[in-house]
Amino acid sequence: MTTHILIVGLGLIGGSLALAIQKNPEVKVIGFDTDSHTVRKAKKLGVIHDMAFNLKESAKMADFIIFATPVNATVQLMNEAQSWQLKKNVILTDTGSTKKIIMEKAKSLKARGITFIGGHPMAGSHKSGVEAAKAHLFENAYYMLTPLEHEDEHHIQSLEMILQPAKGKILRVLAHEHDHMTAVVSHFPHLIAASLVHQLSSENEEYPFTRQLAAGGFRDTTRIASSNPVMWRDITIQNRMELVKQLDKWQSEMDTVKSLLMQAEPANIEHYFSRAKYVRDELPITSQGAMYSVYDLHVDVPDYPGVISEVTGLLAKHLISITNLRIVETREDVFGILVISFQSIDDRQRASSSIEQETDYETYIS
C-alpha cells in the first residue's frame, strides 16, 4: 500500500527530505511550494514524484504532511490546516529551528483531532534552493522530534519510520528543552559572531589593516555571521527569551574575564584558557551538531607554484569532491596554510588519509 507524503516548501531542507524519503519504494512524495516554478523544477530534477499546485486539495490525500517552511509560515499553515479536509490518521510535522511556538499551536490542532509532531533536522549546506537538495544531507545529523506530552506512541513511531531513510539520529525532546539547547549551541553563537564582526567593523575605521588580518582565525571564528539575515532575524525573535538568558550568563562570564585581566594573576588566566581548551577538545568531531557544519581540513603545504593543483589533483584522483578551498595568509592559531572544505566527514577523512599517505604534507582537523 502506497504512503502519500506531502512536502510543503521545496527548498534545501524540503527537497533533501523528499529525496531521502523516496528511497522507500512504498512512498510517493508530493511537492508543493508557493513558487510554482520551483515545483516544476523539483519534478524535473526527480526530487518529487508528483506536483501539487493546490495545497488544500493535495492535503486531502496525504498520510503525512511535512511543513519545510520558516517557522512563521509554518504557524500560518497550521492555522489553515484546521479547516482542511484531512485523512483521519494523518500526521503533520515541520522542520523549524524553534519549537515552543510551533508546539503551542499544535495544541489547537490536537483539540481538533489532528496529530502534529514537531521536528528539526539539524543539517544544512552552504547552498540553498531545490537545486542544492541531496538525499544524504541528514546522514549522521541529529533529527530532533518534539511530540506533545501523552502523544500516541504509534504516531511517533510511524513518523520515525517515514524519516528512517534520511539516516539521521532521531532524538525525542520537549519543545522547551530543544529551544534551550539550540539557544546555547547555535542561536546565541550567531549573536556573538555578529557582535564580533560589528566590533571589527568599528575598529577597522581607525586601523584599516585590521580587516586584512581578520582573514585568518577571526574569519573562521565568525563564519556563521554570514548566515541568512532574514532567517536569523526570525529565529532570534522566536527564541528571544532563551537568548536573553544566555546573554545574561555571557555578561556574567565577561565580568569574570574582566576581573581576571584586572588581577593579572598568570596562574588564574592560564587556568581559564586551559579549562576552555579541555572542554573544547572534548567536543565530538564525528557527528553534526546543532549548527550546519563545514568539514574543513587544514593542510600544511609549502608555498611553491603548482602545490594547490597537486593537492586538488590528488583528491580528484580519489573521486573526492570539495566545496571550497582557500589559502590562509594570517597563520596565527591556524593549522596549515591551505583550508579545504568537504561535504561530509567521510570525504574529509578520505582526503586526510590520501594526502598524508601520498605526500609529506601534514593535515589537521580543528
Residue-wise pLDDT for 101-156, tens only, equals 999 999 999 999 999 999 999 887 667 889 989 888 888 789 999 999 999 999 99
CA separation, residue 152 to residues 136, 148, 156 (Å)? 29, 9, 7
Cβ-Cβ contacts under 8 Å for 39 (sequence gap 6 or more): 10, 31, 32, 33, 48, 51, 52, 53
Look up cell 587556568; give the residue: 271
Residue 266 has pLDDT above 90, yes or no: yes
Predicted confidence at residue 291, as pLDDT, reads: 53
Tell me 49's DSSP state: S
Using DSSP, how many helices (H) and how many strands (E) does the chain show?
15, 12
| Residue matched to cell numbers 525532546 | 173
Query: In what helix (H) or strand (E) does residue 137 lie, and over which residues does it extend?
Result: none
Share of the chain above pLDDT 70, in %: 93
- Averaged pLDDT, 200-218: 80
For residue 304, name the pLDDT band (cuts at 50, 70, 90).
Answer: confident
Q: What are phi and psi of 145, to 5 degrees?
A: -115, 140
For 31-58, the pLDDT digits (tens) are 999 999 999 999 999 999 999 999 999 9
Residue 294 has pLDDT above 70, yes or no: no
pLDDT band of 330, cuts 50, 70, 90: very low
Domain 3-173 bears CATH identifier 3.40.50.720: yes
pLDDT of 292 > 70? The answer is no
Strands 27-32 and 338-342: unpaired
**What is the reported pLDDT for 184?**
93
Closest of 163, 143, 147 to residue 155, by C-alpha: 147
Confidence category of residue 328, pLDDT binned at 50, 70, 90? low
Distance CA 15, CA 9 (A): 8
The answer to whether 117 touches 160, Cβ cutoff 8 Å, is no
All three cell numbers of 212: 586584512
pLDDT of residue 287: 55
**DSSP code of residue 115:** E
Residue 2's Cα: distance from chain center in Å?
31
CA dihedral 68, 71, 75, 78 (to 10 degrees): 20
- Using CB atoms within 10 A of its CB, is residue 193 exposed (0-12), middle (13-18) or buried (19+)? middle
Collapse the DSSP code of 316 into the 3-class scheme (helix H, G, I; strand E, B; otherwise coil) and give the result.
Answer: helix
Residue 8 pLDDT exceeds 90: yes
Task: Give the containing element (helix H, strand E) for 290.
Answer: none
Above 50 in pLDDT, residue 332? no
Q: Collapsing DSSP states into helix, strand and coil, what is residue 6? A: strand
For the domain made up of 295-364, give the CATH fold. Answer: Alpha-Beta Plaits (3.30.70)
For the ranges 72-86, 191-205, 225-239, 325-339, the one whose mean pLDDT is highest: 72-86
Give the Cα-Cα-Cα angle 199, 241, 239 (nearest 5 degrees).
80
Checking if the pLDDT of 329 tops 80, the result is no
pLDDT band of residue 163 (cuts 50, 70, 90) is very high
* Residue 205 vs residue 24, higher pLDDT: 24
Question: So where are the chain's domains?
Answer: 3-173, 178-281, 295-364
Class of 178-281 in CATH: mainly alpha
Rounded to 10 degrees, what is the CA torsion of 223, 228, 233, 234?
-120
> pLDDT averaged over the chain?
89
Alpha helices in 31-125 (DSSP H): 36-44, 55-59, 71-81, 100-111
pLDDT value for 221 = 81
